[in-house]
Amino acid sequence: MNGNLTFTMIKPTAFKNNNAGAILKMINEGGFIIKAMKLTLLTPELAGDFYAIHKGKPFYESLVEFMSSGPIIAAVLEKENAVEDYRKLIGTTNPENAEEGTIRKRYATSLQQNAVHGSDSDENATLEADFFFSKFERF
């Protein structure tokens, strides 16, 4: 059975471009309930830890630099089949291939600066939510 939680970040460029409100509206209209949320700024160390799974890939260093370049919004989202449904709402990693009406199609500015993060599995959703939020910050 699929879980009902996923984790997202509104990435620095999308936040800087004032697209956070529109993205959160799409998240709510997509049937997701916000269980936790914060505006924060990752240090390069924290961004490196968060994306450790990509260590060694050609884009890792620049991804870490980008993700620590400005504030982000982190959130835990609830919905039935959350991980899969959220990946559908955000669209493909490369926004050029993303379907019309997806968050990345609308708000990404490049492959790296693709507006939002979305967990890729229930296991990672739990790890990522725990990375950002204590139990006192989740409702």
Residues at the interface with Mg ion (CB under 5 A): 120
Q: Which of 3, 33, 69, 120 binds ligand ADP (CB under 6 A)?
A: 120
User: In the 8-state DSSP scheme, what is residue 118?
Assistant: E
Q: Is 138 exposed, middle or buried (0-12, 13-18, 19+ CB in 10 A)?
A: middle
Task: Please tell me whether residue 63 binds ligand ADP under the rule CB under 6 A.
Answer: yes
Task: Please tell me whether residue 121 binds ligand ADP under the rule CB under 6 A.
Answer: no
Integer Cα distance of 42 and 12 in angstroms: 10
Build a one-symbol-per-residue string for 21-60: x at contacts with ligand ADP by CB under 6 A, - elsewhere: ---------------------------------x----x-
3-state DSSP call for residue 19? coil
Q: Which residues are catalytic?
A: 117
